[in-house]
Amino acid sequence: MTPRNIVEAAKKRGLHIIGITDHNSTLQCAEVKKVGEREGLYVLCGVELNTREEVHALAFFETSQQLSEFQIFLDKHLPHVKNNVDKFGYQLVINEEEEVLQEMPYLLFVALTAGIEEIEAEVHRLDGIFIPAHINRMQNSVLSQLGFLPPDLKVDALELSRHVTIPAFLEKNKYLSKYPFIQSSDAHIVEDIGAIYTELKMDEISFENIRLALSVKRTSSSAST
């Protein structure tokens, strides 16, 4: 999952936009964005959060300043559990030449000390996009951990994994039908990039147009073949 391999795989699968969302870290985004810009691929820079409740959520930001400010928030709320390299592997920031720029010493997949409402408020304070992740899953989703989607939680969309269709999910969760949905591959290996994707309609690709396009309700899924 190097920057170059990610971008090459996305282009091969015909994607125009990808999101980079490492667990509890934004630090790899800049290197992938650099390669993406050169290759004509729009890279949404963000993070997959693990809240205090063990809920996974996605956050995306437009500018490097917003990313830097949110990284400070993450550093403040990430417990300092030392990474066991033999058990969990290396946590590296690398460039397109696969040179190591930085190694994170603390485990990144642990729960933050901040709750979902505090995190959502901080994302939107920085004018970011906030999306609870893979909410159909039986673990680490807002529904599995809380039992429901808090009605006062300000979300820009809800994400489903590739393992369910939007109509099938809404058949069992009708109270969520007012929300817009996306589906994404949640790829942890290059081969999974683009396994499922969301089609967004806009005149030109920009962060604000993506935000607006996300607000459109969808009733079907798009998968690569």
Distances (CA, A) of 128 to 93, 193, 194, 223: 23, 23, 23, 27
Please give the single-letter amino acid code of residue 110.
V
pLDDT at residue 59, rounded to an integer: 98
pLDDT band at 219 (very low <50, low <70, confident <90, very high): low
pLDDT band at 217 (very low <50, low <70, confident <90, very high): confident
pLDDT at residue 111, rounded to an integer: 98
Query: How many other CB atoms are there within 10 angstroms of residue 217's CB atom?
Result: 11
Residues 6+ apart with CB under 8 A from 115: 51, 52, 53
Give the pLDDT mean for 56-67: 98
pLDDT at residue 224, rounded to an integer: 58
**pLDDT of 154 higher than 90:** yes
**Do 48 and 22 meet the contact criterion of CB atoms below 8 Å apart?**
yes
User: pLDDT tens digits, residue range 69-120?
Assistant: 999 999 999 999 999 999 999 999 999 999 999 999 999 999 999 999 999 9
Please give the single-letter amino acid code of residue 4.
R
pLDDT at residue 222, rounded to an integer: 72
**pLDDT of 27 higher than 90:** yes
Backbone angle region of 24, left / alpha / beta, with phi > 0 → left and psi within -120 to 50 → alpha: left
The total number of residues written for the chain in this structure: 225
Nearest CA to 192 out of 3, 8, 9 is that of 9
Chain mean pLDDT for the chain: 95
Please give the Cα distance from 57 to 186 (Å, whole number): 12
Give the pLDDT mean for 175-185: 95
pLDDT band at 216 (very low <50, low <70, confident <90, very high): confident
Which domains does the chain carry? 3-223 (3.20.20.140)
Per mean pLDDT, which range of 21-35, 156-170, 206-220 is the poorest?
A: 206-220
pLDDT band at 225 (very low <50, low <70, confident <90, very high): very low
**pLDDT of 56 higher than 80:** yes
